[in-house]
Amino acid sequence: MRQAQIRQILFLIVLTVIYLAFELGFNARLLDVVGSRATPHDIEELEFFGRTLSGIAAALVVLQLMWTRRLATGGRPSTLKIAVACVVTALLVFSAIKLLVNVLVDTRDGEFRRIATNAGLLQRSLVQGDLQLDGLVDDDDVYARPEGKAFLAVFQVLLSNIDNLDEKVEPKKRQVIRTDLQRQMKTFTFDGREVRMTAPGIRGYHQVYTSVMGSVAERWKKYAGVPVASDIGLAREQDRAWGDYRRSLSRRGWTPDNVPARYKGRVVQDVRKRIPVPGDWQPHDRATFNEAVAQQYWRTMRSRTVHVEGDAIPPGLAYEDFVARPGVQKLLRQALMVPATMNVAPNYTDVAGFKRLYEGMLDRAVDEALPRFSASSADFGRGGLHDKLGEDAARAAIVPPVALLCSLLGAVGHFAKLLYLIAKLVVWLRTPAGQQPGRTATRAAGLALVLTLACVWTAFSFMQNGVTRSELFQQMSRVEGGSQDESIGQALRRRVLANVAHVVVVGQAYTYPFNEAVRTRVLGGIKYGYHGDAG
């Protein structure tokens, strides 16, 4: 019995240490995500790994309980039943957390989604250093440090405590949106194909401009009758003309390769009525036939009027004049997303000229985005104009705190369990063979563990750092008190949230370096689905 207990405890200690390594690594990566420009895909990946680890954590608890029972009853339940129970528990917890997140997202009202949408914009600007919050630490690198990342993790939860938030943000909203758009890599559309920026800012936009103008140049070549080897219309015309020629021969039972010599002259004359082949052309010579079709095709292209966006463009225009036509300009403005009053040049020889085009695109993008961030709560509600935007913002606001809470509960709980198992192992090792440790020793070990955790939480609650001492954090957490008409429940909720936020911001400053070292050095730099920068 004694040896079996010791082996079981040792095995549980090993499993708990392995789980804690992955949980601590996830905790560090979670802070990296909230301290970055995370995309909806990043949030989805983060949520998956968080649910998986929570399921494993619950399964380990079930394993320990059932294994302890098995040891006490002499072999029951069976190993198969224990394995099935652990798998079912992991799946249930995985599904339950997914359901919880979906319910939290789906039940958020339009006001929450509106605040989350604007809060996400503010958070991205804070991360990039484009926005400074009055009353916070006067340090540009604060969000690259653990306490700053932890502050961002609880930022959207505490944001609702700021009085008159809309009035304070409104004067800076346009500039914040503009700066946020400058860092995005937008996708443009021209001629039915997508052109994506490969770099943010003016450099990426210039790549898009070059690609779009290349397509315009191809259009002009086709319009001007400049031969283009890859022209699809020409290839179709050549195939159609050759097919008609073969069908006319087949009515006489001939093919291009077996036209009788005495009829070749007549065949050539018939073909020349439609296609300008040379007089000495041979009926089987398709290459020369295709060249003649191409000459006729490009001659037709040069002589016809082209319509672009309702503008009838006469033949014979040079490339620069073609680009200057109203229809082409309208097409370019739509593709490059610039205002209707701005003209697009066929090329820009100076940086200032292209910068004006880029600034025009930003002005239009801001004008289009601003109404979304200033929309009413009803527009962000279910079925509203910005339903999808509000849903994504709500998920981005809810998932990191929920994942952080589950991660902390799992890590703290299993760290407590690890300490308990170690204490229990020591008790068993000190117990003479053939005897069992008394209940008093086991309970004392558990009580000492609870007291240790309570002392650590209390210590973090009273400890301070630059973020928690800041005037802004005090206002957001409202530790000094709420409004006079605040109910007891609201006051209790506010104090609990303030305490949790305080402990998270203080505690992560100490635990993040260790957690990140575990992730990078022990776990080989596992990404947990997020491949962005850690800063």
Per-residue pLDDT tens over the stretch 62-103: 998 888 888 777 777 888 999 999 999 999 999 999 999 899
**Quick one: CA torsion of 521, 523, 527, 533, rounded to 10 degrees?**
-10
The single-letter DSSP state of residue 432 is P
Q: Position of tokens 């001659």?
A: 299
Q: For the chain, how far is it from start to end, CA to CA, in angstroms?
A: 51
User: How far apart are the C-alpha atoms of 128 and 121, rounded to whole Å?
Assistant: 11
Give the pLDDT of residue 13.
92
Find out whether 12 and 496 touch, Cβ atoms under 8 Å.
Answer: no
Dist. CA 248–CA 264, nearest whole Å: 14
pLDDT of 123 reads 77
The identity of residue 104, as a single letter, is L
Cα separation, 497 vs 156, in Å, equals 12
pLDDT-based confidence at 55, cuts 50/70/90? very high
**What is the DSSP track for 433-490?**
TT----HHHHHHHHHHHHHHHHHHHHHHHH---HHHHSHHHHHHHTTT---TT--HHH
110-143: pLDDT as tens digits: 888 888 888 888 777 776 666 666 655 566 677 7
What's the rounded mean pLDDT across residues 268-288?
91
What's the mean pLDDT in 50-55?
A: 91
Taking CB atoms within 8 Å and a gap of at least 24, the contacts of 421-424 are 421/9, 421/12, 421/13, 421/16, 422/13, 423/448, 423/449, 424/9
C-alpha 399/C-alpha 94 separation (Å) is 14
Q: In the numeric block, which tokens belong to residue 449?
A: 């563990």
Half-sphere exposure of 326 toward its Cβ, with a 13 Å CA cutoff?
A: 4
Integer Cα distance of 314 and 327 in angstroms: 12
Q: Rounded distance, CA 534 to CA 32, Å?
A: 5
At 384-416, the pLDDT tens digits run 888 988 888 888 888 887 888 788 888 888 888
The amino acid sitting at 473 is F
pLDDT in the model for residue 1: 61
Lowest-confidence pick of 122-136, 270-284, 515-529: 122-136
Percentages helix, strand, coil for the chain (3-state, rounded to 5) are: 70, 5, 25
- pLDDT digits over 225-248, tens only? 666 666 778 888 899 999 999 999
Helix and strand numbers (H, E) in the chain are 19, 4
Exposed/middle/buried for residue 434 (C-beta within 10 Å: 0-12, 13-18, 19+): exposed
3-state SS of 142-203? HHHCHHHHHHHHHHHHHHHHCCCHHHHHHHHHHHHHHHHHHCCCCEEEECCEEEECCCCHHH
| Neighbour count for residue 70 (Cβ, 10 Å) | 18
The token pair at 128 is 């990039």
User: Which residues lie below 8 Å from residue 486, measured CB to CB, with a gap of 6+?
Assistant: 494
The backbone region for 307, taken as left when phi is positive above 0, alpha when psi lies in -120 to 50, beta otherwise, is beta
Instruction: Give the model's pLDDT for residue 534.
Output: 52
Q: What is the rounded distance in angstroms from the CA atom of residue 277 to the CA atom of residue 293? A: 8
Q: pLDDT tens-digit profile of 325-379?
A: 999 999 999 999 999 999 999 999 888 999 999 999 999 999 988 888 888 889 9
Among 125-129, 162-166, 503-507, the minimum mean pLDDT is found in 162-166
Which residue's structure tokens are 């559309």?
189
Greatest extent of the chain over all pairs of C-alpha atoms, in Å: 119
- Under the banding of pLDDT at 50, 70 and 90, the label for residue 169 is confident
What pLDDT does residue 222 have? 78
Please say if the pLDDT value at position 479 is more than 60.
no
Backbone phi, then psi, for 252, in 5-degree steps?
Answer: -100, 5
Are 512 and 146 in contact by the 8 Å Cβ rule? The answer is: yes
Side-chain half-sphere of 463: how many Cα atoms within 13 Å? 17
Please tell me what DSSP assigns to residue 261. G
What is the rounded distance in angstroms from the CA atom of residue 476 to the CA atom of residue 484? 17
Name the pLDDT band for 18 (thresholds 50, 70, 90): very high
Question: For the residues 464-481, what does the mean pLDDT come to?
Answer: 73
Q: Looking at the whole model, is its pTM more than 0.75? A: no
